[in-house]
Amino acid sequence: MIRCEGLARTFAGPPPRPLFAGLKLDVARGEIVAIVGESGSGKSTLLNLIAGLDVPDAGSVVVDGVALSALDDDGRTRFRRERIGFVFQAFHVLPYLPVGENVALPLALNGVRDAASDPRVAALLDAVGLGDRAASPPRELSGGELQRVAIARALVHAPAVVLADEPTGNLDPRTAASIVELLRDTVKRQHATAVIVTHSRAAASAADRVLELRPDGLVRLQG
């Protein structure tokens, strides 16, 4: 599902600092991979390259059979809209939309009319335990509940790939554990592929495979 070959990227600086070079990554369809590493090692940058939000200095990224380097910025954006879901550390739920419309946002961006009423929205809210909160404004939800909304949003359009950047970074351990479990369950149920960047052992433990990003590339730690 995800294949990175000879990937290289340099942090712009100043001064410029190479993050990684010659990086290779293969993620199979339906697999959940966790990537750990020191702060500043380039974990989020790797995620951005997979999402098409950034372009590598060298190498290639192929996601779901599509070579991202062959696409321009708009092309990579449309690809991301259709095939990728995102979960952020800080949730990033839009404060001026109720919960249901936040979840429906990817459907609306993909041209689905009256997206908030789409049955997929209600189904995912149920799946994350927020079935009765569709009309609630985000400010009424706790951190854990907001992350559940974000997970629902990431999966509503049945993406091929889910990318999660520190999904439990702003949560207490108990909530983080429940979120990790939820993320794994919903990804697996949707037969999606996931890459999770994390510092958390609990989050890493939810993965099928854990890799560590080092300057010389990815090293398997477990799985």
Partner 1 sequence: MDIALAVMRGTFGAYRGRTLVATLAIALGVALGFAIQTVNRSAIAEFTQGVATLSGDADLVVRGPADGFDEQVFARIAAERGVSAASPVVEVDARLPARDDTLALSGVDAFRAAAVTPALVGRGAAAVDLLRDDRVFLSPAALAMVARAVGDTLDVQAGTGVATFTIAGTLDAPAGRRLAVVDIAAAQERFGRLGRVSRVDVRVRPGTDVDAVRASIAAALPAGVTVVRPDETSALASRMTRAYRVNLNVLALVALFTGSLLVFSTQALSVVRRRTQLALLRTLGLSRRRLVGILLAEGAAIGVVGAMVGIAAGYALAAALLRAFGADLGAGFFRGDAPALAFSPSAAGLFALLGVIAATVGAWLPAIEAARASPAAAIKAGDDESAFRGLVSPWPGVACLVVAAAVVALPPIGGLPVFGYAAIALMLVGTLLLLPRLARALLARIPAPRASGAALALASLRAAPGQATVSLAAIVAAVALAVSMAIMVSSFRDSLAAWLDRVLPADVYVRAGGAQSSGWLEPSDQRTLASLPGVRQAEFMRVLRVLVRDDEAAVVLLARDLDRATASERIALIGDAIDVPTDRPPPAWISEAYADRFGASPGATITLPVAGRAVAFTVAGLWRDYARQTGAVIVERASYVRLTGDARVNDAALWLAPGATADAVRRAIDERFGKDRLTIATPDEIRALSLAVFDRTFAVTYALEAVAIAIGLVGLSATFGALALARRREFGVLRHLGMTRREIGAMLAAEGAMVSAVGLVVGLVLGGAISLVLVHVVNRQSFRWSMDLHVPAGQLVAFSLALLALATLTAVVSARRATAGDTIAAVREDW
For partner 1, the closer of residues 15 and 96 by Cβ is 96
Shortest Å, Cβ 99 to partner 1: 13
SS3 letters for the chain?
CEEEEEEEEEECCCCCEEEEEEEEEEECCCCEEEEECCCCCCHHHHHHHHHCCCCCCEEEEEECCEEHHHCCHHHHHHHHHHHEEEECCCCCCCCCCCHHHHHHHHHHHCCCCCHHHCHHHHHHHHHCCCCCCCCCCHHHCCHHHHHHHHHHHHHCCCCCEEEEECCCCCCCHHHHHHHHHHHHHHHHHCCCEEEEECCCHHHHHCCCEEEEEECCEEEEEEC
Shortest Å, Cβ 96 to partner 1: 3
For partner 1, the closer of residues 32 and 53 by Cβ is 53
Shortest Å, Cβ 220 to partner 1: 27
For partner 1, the closer of residues 30 and 143 by Cβ is 143
For partner 1, the closer of residues 66 and 221 by Cβ is 66
Torsion region of 181: left, alpha or beta (phi above 0 gives left; psi -120 to 50 gives alpha): alpha
Shortest Å, Cβ 185 to partner 1: 22
For partner 1, the closer of residues 38 and 181 by Cβ is 38
Count, residues in the chain: 223
Shortest Å, Cβ 139 to partner 1: 8
Shortest Å, Cβ 223 to partner 1: 27
What does the binding site for partner 1 look like in residue numbers (CB under 8 A)? 44, 48, 51, 53-54, 73-74, 77-78, 80-82, 84, 86, 88-90, 92, 94-97, 101, 105-106, 108-111, 113, 138-139, 153, 165
Sign, Cα dihedral of 164, 153, 158, 134: positive
For partner 1, the closer of residues 6 and 75 by Cβ is 75
